[in-house]
Each structure stands twice: as structure tokens, then as C-alpha cells.
Amino acid sequence: MLIIPHPQEPFPNFYNDLNGSLQMAWKMLGRATKDRKAAFRTPVMASVSDDGPQARVLVLRAADIDRRELIFHTDTRSGKADQLGKDNRVAVTFYDAHRKIQLRINGIAQLHTSDTLADQQWRDASPNALRCFSAPLPAAPCALPSDHDGSEATRKTVAAGRQFFAVLSVGIVQLEWLYLHTHGQRRALFCWHEEQWKMQWLNP
């Protein structure tokens, strides 16, 4: 019987490198804030509600490596804003199917409504991205949502939504890395401890 060997999947530089894996994680997070098509652009964030866990997709707006912080936008009237006011622990999960990398982040969320960060993020966002904040109360029952008329949003037309706009920052406490490879998976845990990353390989 002829055995055709499985072609060896190449090993990336970070394969057996804890520091390299962490750097790759930050690189992918940073890229996702600029590239709308990046897989890490739309992670799932889970929060704790009185009725159990709640998870939803959010757009990653910024990732600050020095502050170990992720930045999202949300509506102060949303369920998650209410949940985070009671319990600010969140889990954020990213997966890039092409690169076969999963990141599971645990962090502490904070809502910014009227500080310089909120003002700056509101100023820098495009009017189209801010249109939803002047919409009627999210999640309220309705006959059929009243759609916008298709006209281009402008600073003026979205201005009323500023009162409901919030920046949701997540201070990263722990980051778990998982890289899938045919030869063997690599799982690692990075914990921010005493002003530095404590890193450790884990069994996958």
C-alpha cells in the first residue's frame, strides 16, 4: 500500500514561544481595529446578568497594549450597560479561523459616558456608526422597528444620540491563547500580576 505523507504544516515563529504568542495576540488585536474584515474585529463579549450569562458580538474599536485595554462602543440604555453596573466582570472571546487562533480575555469593564475618552471616541467615529444611538429604546417591544429613510447620517442628525453613547473599556486581567496546529496545539495563559505578564503553557 502506498502511503502518501501528510504535508507538514509550517510552524509559525510563535509556536513554542510564550512571548511571541503574546506579541502575536496584540498584533492581531491592533490590526482588527483598523481592518474591518479582520476576524478579531467582532469578538463576543459575555457579561453576568441576574438571569445567568449574556453574550453578544461587539466591534473592537481600539486595543491599547500599554494600558492593556480594549475599547468598545455601546448604548447606555442597553442590557449590558445595566448588567455591567452590577457586575463589571466580562469575558471577551476572539477567533480567527484562518490563523486558527482563539483568544479568551477576562477583564474588568468600565462605562465612560462623559469623560474625555467618551468625547474623543464620539468625535472620531463616523456619523453612520453613531446613528443607532438616536434610535428608540433598545430591546423595547415594538410593532415593527421604524427604519431610517436611507439618507446619509451627519453630525447634526446623530447629535441627539450623544446622551446614550458610552465607551466600554475592558481592563485585561487575564488572556488565554489557543493555537490549533496539526502537529500539536499550543495553549498558554497570560496573567497581569505585579506590573508584569506572568506566562505559562497549559495542556491544550
Residue 73 phi, psi dihedral angles, 5° rounding: -115, 145
* 78 interacts with ligand FMN by CB under 6 A: yes
Task: Output 147 or 194, the one with its CB closest to ligand FMN.
Answer: 147
Options 42, 120, 126, 182; binder of ligand FMN; rule CB under 6 A: 42
Closest listed residue to residue 91, CA positions, set 101, 79, 82, 103: 103
* 97 interacts with ligand FMN by CB under 6 A: no
CB–CB of 178/204 below 8 Å? yes
* 57 interacts with ligand FMN by CB under 6 A: yes
Q: Rounded to a whole number, what is the distance in angstroms from the first to the last CA of the chain?
A: 34
CB of residue 72 vs ligand FMN: minimum separation in angstroms?
Answer: 6
CB of residue 201 vs ligand FMN: minimum separation in angstroms?
Answer: 33
* 191 interacts with ligand FMN by CB under 6 A: no
- Applying CB under 6 A, the span of 8-16, 56-64, 117-125, 146-154 interacting with ligand FMN comes to 56-64
CB of residue 159 vs ligand FMN: minimum separation in angstroms?
Answer: 19
Under rule CB under 6 A, which residues in 129-188 are in contact with ligand FMN? 139
| Strand stretches in 86-148, DSSP E | 89-96, 101-112
CB of residue 38 vs ligand FMN: minimum separation in angstroms?
Answer: 12
135-145 b/e (C-beta count within 10 Å ≥ 16 → b) = eeebeeeeeee
